[in-house]
Copies of this chain bind each other. A is one copy, B any other.
Amino acid sequence: MTQSANRQILLVEKPTGKLSPQHFKMAEAPRPEPKDGEVLVRVLYISLDAANRAWMQGATYRSAVEANSVMAGGAIAEVIASHAPGFTPGDLVFGDTGWQDYAAVPAKALVKVPRIDPITHLLSVYGVAGLTAYFGLLNVGKPKSGETVVVSAAAGSVGSFVGQIAKIKGCRVVGIAGGKAKCDWLVSELGFDAAVDYKSEPVFKALKAAAPNGIDVYFDNVGGDIFEACLPLMTMHGRISCCGAVSAYDGAPPAHGPRGVPGLIVVKRLTVQGFIFTDFNDQRETALADLQAWVKAGKIKVQEDIVSGLENTPQALIGLLAGENRGKRMVKV
């Protein structure tokens, strides 16, 4: 690679079934020149999220990613050159740079972030994952002290924060995760009250035992069968915070939705609400202050799963979709 080259990972084909390495290709392009109003950044850490896969299916809260373009993705990056007011070389920013070494990004699509230590926390607890957990649990799920909160994909980045925040709020917390090691970790390290291993036990039965008073708040990261298993266990006026549907992302769209919709929603008078963290941008500062205080006090443990090398980004996403990560997965470029 020459000094001015830019390694890029292209999505060469939109997957119709499971995502695999063949859907991606590494390429090299000249380092981009920022136009007027743009900022040239060097990508430091790329955030990997289940949503990356959903973007390949069509428009979500953002437009779909298209074949033969640089794969989209949020990242922490450093400003190299700026043709926009308000940004100077050395600034740290967050934005959708895509999976590449360098990007020329419109200034209005970038957010300046503080240079904290470690800066990876900007992608985990103080980034999308932490804010998603905070708002999705507190503003959407609205748990009260003493209530039971269940979270799926509990050992993932969002889930691990959801459970810990629910404990801070005085709830009984049950995590659903894949594998004994993750489940043990949720209970022994993160302080969850119980964990259900969806790979080795029937979820409905295990949840019923782990949540004997029913589920007041279900924080759903997965949809599908686990959503269906939770529904009959919800208490009257329970809340389901819909954060994602990872079970539906990597493959053909599911042929059917969960049984009990909308019948059990009526009978139990549930509130089922979708959100993304930016819906609560007006409360961002409060959320960050709370998260910082909890991390400082040791009430939230921040688990990060850092993969090295831009070339490993496709495999890191594929592995994330298969549930191999624990905590927030990102790639150090």
The chain A residues found within 8 Å of chain B, CB to CB, are: 54, 60-61, 220, 223, 227-228, 240, 242-245, 248, 253-276, 279
Contact = CB atoms under 8 A, between A and B. Distances in A.
A56 to B, nearest CB: 14
Contacts of A240: 262
A255 to B, nearest CB: 7
Contacts of A274: 262, 264-271
A243 B266 CA distance: 6
A131 to B, nearest CB: 15
Given A274-B267, A274-B268, A276-B269, A259 B262 contact: no
A238 to B, nearest CB: 10
Given A257-B228, A257-B261, A261-B257, A271 B272 contact: yes
B275 A273 contact: no
Contacts of A264: 274
Nearest to A239: B273
Given A61-B269, A255-B256, 20 more contacts: A54-B267, A60-B266, A61-B267, A227-B261, A227-B262, A228-B257, A240-B262, A242-B262, A244-B266, A245-B262, A245-B263, A245-B266, A248-B263, A253-B259, A255-B259, A256-B256, A257-B258, A257-B262, A271-B271, A272-B272
